Amino acid sequence: MRVRRKVLAAMATAAVTLAGGLAAVVSTSPVQAAVPGSSIPLVFKNNSGRSEQIYIYVLGTILDGSGRQGWADASGAFHQWPAGAPVPVPAPDASIPGPANGQTKTINLPKFSGRVYFSYGQKLIFKLATGGLVQPSLANPTDPNTNILFNWSEYTLNNDGLWINSTQVDMFSAPYAVGLRKSNGQVVSTGRLRPGGYHGFFKALQGQPGGWANLIKRRPDGTILRALAPSHGIGNGAPSLAGAMDGYVNQVWSKYSGQDLVVTPIADLPNNKYYGRVSGSTMTFRDGSGGIVTSFVKPSTDSIWGCYKHLDAPNDVRGQISRTLCAGFNRSTLLSHSNQPHNVPTDFYKDVSTNHYSRKIHAQMVDGKAYGFAFDDVGAHESLVHDGSPTTAYITLDPFD
């Protein structure tokens, strides 16, 4: 599953592994207080307006130093996955019955790095291979979960606090918001669509020329289930998007063959600047003393949509620069602004060649924030809430209006 979680670039960090091999980065900086106990309450509210049974799953890696992966029950108790097999076998039923429409259910969220899945009307199908849990594969049209309406939130809860986000990195589907209550009683939330935003997004994507409408996936009866992110859509009904950014990339490469692209990747370290210049098919970055720090070959459109391959982002200086490039390409700000990251939202997505999927998601959000691509956190434009000592977490299923 090709997902990359947020990077808290301005903080001292340590990597942990999420369910399915996702990479998260969590703070090791001093915080106001440690999170007490082994879990916090998660208030799960159903405001969807739908009558289907909801199923909740809390899956991930327990953060006790063991690296064990598994699931949590409603009490927050950890259950390790049993061994898998070369031919994947059914996983234990990890579902928690969710609340009916208009109702609330409180479960316990353990110190995990992982996901909270929820599905409508049907339980999700998870299997275990020799490498661990097999999660739903959006890029595979034969996946047994293809015709199930579902979504998920990503979270990390450890002694340094809670990070919880709504995510559209892989798909836009069943609407929901996330939130938390701070130790001072303040409640913060994000991820909520504007009134009419759910249908508004699909209508806007349907009307976008160039094959973007092919990202929309329906049940056999025509019911809309989701829109795939372009990184998944290229191989699943939207092949025209494979070259959608190629012309823009060529223009960027031409521009920076004659001038520097200046990247200041960490806001709290404004003197750490890197200067990129193109020669042939390669953009090479140097530090202030002229020393080479990394280089990038001209990225493919797929590398841009997925923020990987030619734009790989290890947890080092290369990764810091790569994240910035990925954001600049997806938001189409690299031609218009030679100092990056450029963090003025009104300047995003102005070029005809841009990530229209992400653009249309942000346009429908109440606070304008979303995870429309993997490094949408560059400049803090992501749908994430965090606190060092939270008392409660929230997930609210919102109306499909």
Identify the CA nearest to 32 among candidates 384, 390, 380: 390
CA distance 376 to 53: 32
| Token pair in block for residue 105 | 């259910």
Of 246, 250, 243, 257, nearest to 338 by C-alpha is: 257
Neighbours of 196 (CB within 10 A): 12
Active-site residue, 170 included: yes
Length of the chain: 401
Kindly report the CA angle at 65 between 3 and 315, in degrees rounded to 5? 40
Instruction: Pick the catalytic residue from 170, 376, 377, 398.
Output: 170
Can 52 be counted among the known catalytic residues? no
State the SS3 of 151-207. Answer: EEEEEEEECCEEEEEECCCCEECCCEEEEEECCCCCEEEECCECCCHHHHHHHHHHC
Name the catalytic one among 52, 73, 143, 154: 154
Residue 349, classified by CB atoms within 10 Å of its CB into exposed (0-12), middle (13-18) or buried (19+), is buried
Positions annotated as catalytic residues are 154, 170
